[in-house]
Amino acid sequence: MLDWSQCAAVERVSGKVGGAWLFVGTRVPVKALFENLEGGATVAEFLEWFPGVNREQVEAVLEHAQASLAEV
């Protein structure tokens, strides 16, 4: 399981969106990125659909996920 607490682009706020990991400063769950990418969306489309999220945040989340896979 990923340790999202080590990724500066995300936050978990008790009582906000059920305590899910969110992109900092938004109500957009990190899982929404992965669900959309798995569904065939591009990063550009995701950013268009979720304007509160910026490219740097998405890149940080993807890099964090990639790095965690390398540790296995």
pLDDT of residue 71: 62
Answer whether 50's CB lies under 8 Å from 43's CB.
no
pLDDT tens, N- to C-terminus, the chain (72 residues)? 789 999 999 999 999 999 999 999 999 999 999 999 999 999 999 999 999 999 999 999 999 999 988 765
pLDDT of residue 16: 93
> Measured between alpha carbons, how far is residue 12 from residues 23, 28, 42, 64 in Å?
9, 11, 25, 16
- The Cα–Cα gap between 49 and 53 comes to 9
Fold assignment, 4-70: Arc Repressor Mutant, subunit A (1.10.10)
Q: pTM score, two decimals?
A: 0.90
Work out the end-to-end distance of the chain between its first and last CA atoms, rounded to an integer number of angstroms.
Answer: 10
